[in-house]
Structures are given as structure tokens and as C-alpha cells.
Amino acid sequence: ATIDCSTALALKTWVETGVRPAVGDTGGGVSSLRVVAHYACRTRNNLSGARLSEHSFGRAIDIAGIGLADGTEMTVLNGWNGQYSRQLRDMWQAACGPFGTVLGPDADVFHRDHFHFDTADYRSGSFCR
């Protein structure tokens, strides 16, 4: 993924303090992240006339799944209200702090299948929905 340094540091923090503890030894542990969006010069939610997305500055990353060592994947789309609900919700919550904006399936229809994380610096404190 192409992201700026502050977003890379936030991502590393999230993996170490949120993802790994939430996954534990399920499926042999974490092996990968499925990134579905990173740097892209575009508007928010790709809507015409909207403000530029944090993706357009390299300050955002979207994660749709957590790959496990045994080859299975915890997907946000199928796991949020399914088999991996508790683990995915713990991961989502752990992102509130390292990232400025944390959006997941309960935020809106645009984020039903992934986590959106960004390091926007125009807010005071994290915005998590």
C-alpha cells in the first residue's frame, strides 16, 4: 500500500495492539492484511463534488480482511455479524486512537465491507463510527 509515514506508523500500532491480540492463535495467527484502497486522488466515497478523500493525500487505508496462517480470512463483510464478530469489533475499536478517523460496517453503506482508517489532522481526537 502507498501511504504516508504517519499512516504507516498508525497501521503498525494497530496491527500490534489491535489485530494480533484480537486474532490470537485463531487460524494459526495473522499472516496478512487485505488492502482494498490506499493512495488514490479522488473525492470522498468517489462522489462527484465531494471534498477530497484522505486517500488523495496518502493518509488513508482501507482493510477488508485479515489473512490467517492457515489460509482462511476474516472478512469484514462476512465476519462483522458472523463468526469473527467479536474479534473484528475489537480490532475496529483498537483503531480508535492510532487513527483520526475509523469507519466500519456500522458507519454507512460505503463501508459495509471494509474498515476505513485515516490520519486526518483537522479534528481533535478520533472519530469512530
Indicate whether 109 pLDDT > 90.
yes
Indicate whether 97 pLDDT > 70.
yes
Write out the three cell numbers for 6: 504517519
Indicate whether 129 pLDDT > 80.
yes
DSSP string, 65-104: EEEETTS-EEEHHHHTTSTTHHHHHHHHHHHBTTBSEEE-
Please state, rounded to an integer, the average pLDDT across all residues of the chain: 94
pLDDT score for 77:
98
- CA dist., res. 8 & res. 33, Å (int): 13
Cα 104 to chain centroid distance, Å, stands at: 8
Amino acid at 57: F
Q: State the pLDDT confidence band at 123, using cuts at 50, 70 and 90.
A: low
Mean pLDDT, to the nearest integer, of 88-93? 98
* Nearest residue to 95 via CA among 58, 57, 70, 66: 66
**Taking a C-beta distance cutoff of 8 angstroms, is the pair 22, 91 a contact?**
yes
Q: What is the H or E stretch that residue 117 is in? A: strand 115-118
Alpha-carbon Rg for the chain in angstroms: 14
Mean pLDDT, to the nearest integer, of 70-79? 98
pLDDT score for 71:
98
Indicate whether 40 pLDDT > 80.
yes
